[in-house]
Amino acid sequence: MSGAARYCVFGNPIAHSKSPDIHAAFAAQTGQDLVYERRLAALDGFAAAARQFAAAGGRGANVTLPFKLEACALATALTMRAQAAGAVNTLSFSDGEIHGDNTDGDGLVADIVRNAGVAIAGKRVLLLGAGGAARGAMLPLLEQRPAELSVANRTQAKADALVRQFAPLAGAGRLQACAFDAAGGVYDIVINATSASLGGALPPLAPGVFGRDTLALDMMYGARPTVFMDFAAGHGAQVRDGLGMLVEQAAEAFLVWRGVRPDTGAVLASLRAAL
């Protein structure tokens, strides 16, 4: 493996990351010769760590919390989706250049459309949160041409700002902002992009946003359903966690680096069984 292409994931903390397992499975499946490792970066040392990895021959890196904004600033060139997200989760190192990309939103869309089998085009979509996770999802969601995309946030001013930024890309679809408790009517898709589930909390949503055919997806995942998933299921929705999004964003990064898209089904099933 000495000649293998080298990749890693940077984060702090990082020991929990499933990315090495995912990319090892992708490499075995596609016959790619690579090694992929976890790298803990000091909270004030991400840029130096990334440059050091590149200088030592690293070909690319994934970036997780809390370094996605710093990765965006570090990049010498950004893809359109990284510019729109204002954050980078995938770096490519080549000829002294650092290319930044963001595969999170495309991973979310792939999980909804391909894995869950739910079309986004023409649907009413409610996106909860206006932070980095929500921002990364905006462009890929709008590219699917939903009939309506509503951004709900505890502080509506942040949702308003996000809607203003993406309004030129909304096309014929309706893009609007509201407070959590002002979201009204049944939505086809409800996406929790807040971090509330990490603390066992729930955005103050009206139960009426969920219907029998609603897909409610929480970007968080774990061995048990999140509070958001339990709440949505209790009001009739079909629920899904963020594990599929994790695998799909990794597949998109693998495509960026290696030029081949792995099949995600078996990898996702294996990770789910191990939770």
Residue positions annotated with a catalytic role: 68
Match 């078996």 to its residue by tokens.
266
Does 221 carry a binding-site annotation? Answer: yes
Please, where are the H alpha helices in the chain? 19-30, 46-55, 68-74, 80-85, 104-110, 132-143, 156-166, 227-234, 243-258, 265-274
Does 265 carry a binding-site annotation? Answer: no
Does 236 carry a binding-site annotation? Answer: no
Does 154 carry a binding-site annotation? Answer: yes
Q: How many CB atoms sit inside 10 A of residue 14's CB?
A: 18
Does 79 carry a binding-site annotation? Answer: no
Backbone angles phi, psi at 165, to 5 degrees: -60, -40
Does 94 carry a binding-site annotation? Answer: no
Does 36 carry a binding-site annotation? Answer: no
Does 2 carry a binding-site annotation? Answer: no
Tokens in use for 160? Answer: 């308003």
Does 123 carry a binding-site annotation? Answer: no
Cβ atoms of 217 and 153 within 8 Å: the answer is no
Does 62 carry a binding-site annotation? Answer: no
Does 249 carry a binding-site annotation? Answer: yes
Does 92 carry a binding-site annotation? Answer: no
Does 39 carry a binding-site annotation? Answer: no
Q: How many residues does the structure list for the chain?
A: 275
Does 218 carry a binding-site annotation? Answer: no
Host H or E run for residue 37: strand 34-40
DSSP-assigned states of every residue in 88-128: -SEEEEETTEEEEE--HHHHHHHIIIIIS----TT-EEEEE
Residues 101, 103, 109, CA angle at the centre, nearest 5°? Answer: 145
Q: How many CB atoms sit inside 10 A of residue 183's CB?
A: 22
Host H or E run for residue 78: strand 77-78
Measured between alpha carbons, how far apart are the two ends of the chain, in Å?
Answer: 29
Does 195 carry a binding-site annotation? Answer: no
Known binding-site residues for shikimate equal 17-19, 64, 89, 104, 221, 249
Known binding-site residues for NADP(+) equal 129-133, 153-158, 219, 242
Known binding-site residues equal 17-19, 64, 89, 104, 129-133, 153-158, 219, 221, 242, 249
